[in-house]
Amino acid sequence: MALVTICPDCATAFRVNAMQLQAHGGDVRCGQCLRVFNGFTTLITISESVLEHPAEFRAHVGNESEATETDRRVIDHSSDVSESSATISDSTATEPGGQFLDEASSVGESWGRWAVANVFALLLLLGQIAYTHRTELTILMPVLRPHLEHYCLLLGCEVPYPQSIKQLGIETSDLEKNLSRQPEVTSVSAVIRNYASFPQALPALQLVLLDAQDQIIASRIFTAQDYFSEHDRAPQFIEPQQEIEIRLDFDSSQLQALGYRLHLLYP
């Protein structure tokens, strides 16, 4: 006896192998019209001799199946389903009893590994974005700073404070000498204000000394460690809309400065 299934679209009939059919849940691709269908639904058993007489085969099909077409074409395949006739599809299905085939389980496991790999890749991408734009993220969502700092602690990095020099300003400044006590020491004091809506890193100060003709005779850049004394507890940043007072003392005994300029900058 031979197993034969019939394509519901083009009525092409061909021999199938029972084990191969079950291994793929009955899914079959017709070699003529490429329709994928369940071979179990049109599966019949016939004698080998019937395959040699197409007319008898058509009559047998009319008796054994619900099909009523009389113009079915019969293609006798001497081998199992192949590329020249029909192929078993790779899609998963269930057996008539409803149990998943081994191949379905294998595909499910592959999908699970693929999903885990994609989740891992997504987390890695988010981590890279957080690392690259960690300062910008603290501007958009200040509440993230503690979490980003903890994240950086694990990676051995820091979360720098923003540096928008255009949103910093010098409110007042003054240059003076104490001629009675220390005539060689000159002091510069200033008030710096942060106009931004977010904290900013402490800026550096460039002090330019001028002579009577308003020509530059000396210039120096001071960092936050310079303009906060050792006794002061220097902050790490300037809060939004906050003002800080600074003071610089330097030796001007060799300088005859009559004017100055003070600039804010980030190195």
In the block, tokens 């890279």 appear at 128
CB atoms within 10 A of CB 55: 9
Could you tell me if 29 and 93 are in contact, meaning their C-beta atoms sit under 8 angstroms apart? Answer: no
Pairing assessment for the beta strands 243-251 and 237-238 based on DSSP bridges: unpaired
The alpha carbon dihedral of 11, 14, 20, 21 has a sign of: positive
For 244, residues 6+ apart whose C-beta sits below 8 A from its C-beta are 191, 192, 202, 235, 238
| Banded model confidence at residue 169, pLDDT cuts 50, 70, 90 | very high
pTM: 0.48
pLDDT of residue 64: 47
What phi-psi label fits residue 26: left (phi over 0), alpha (psi between -120 and 50 degrees) or beta? left
For 145, residues 6+ apart whose C-beta sits below 8 A from its C-beta are 138, 159
pLDDT over 80 at 222, yes or no? yes
pLDDT of residue 205: 92
From the list 235, 254, 255, 257, the residue with the least C-alpha distance to 245 is 235
In the block, tokens 């002061």 appear at 232
Encoded amino acid at 221, one letter: I
CB atoms within 10 A of CB 133: 13
Domains of the chain are: 2-98 (no CATH), 104-155 (no CATH), 165-265 (2.70.50.60)
143 vs 71, residue with greater confidence: 143
CA distances from 53 to 37, 41, 75, 216, 224 (A): 26, 24, 11, 112, 101
Distance CA 12, CA 86 (A): 10
pLDDT of residue 232: 59
pLDDT over 90 at 168, yes or no? yes
pLDDT over 70 at 193, yes or no? yes
Mean pLDDT of the chain: 75
Mean pLDDT, residues 207-221 = 89
Distance CA 80, CA 153 (A): 64
pLDDT of residue 16: 79
What is the tens place of the pLDDT at every residue in 72-105?
343 344 334 333 333 333 333 333 333 333 644 5
pLDDT of residue 75: 37
From the list 224, 252, 253, 250, the residue with the least C-alpha distance to 237 is 224
What is the CA 62 to chain-centroid distance, rounded? 59
Instruction: Give percent of the chain with pLDDT exceeding 90.
Output: 18
Sheet holding 243-251, edge to edge: 168-178, 182-194, 243-251
Q: Which helix (H) or strand (E) holds 57?
A: helix 54-64
pLDDT over 70 at 58, yes or no? no
From the list 96, 255, 121, 113, the residue with the least C-alpha distance to 188 is 255
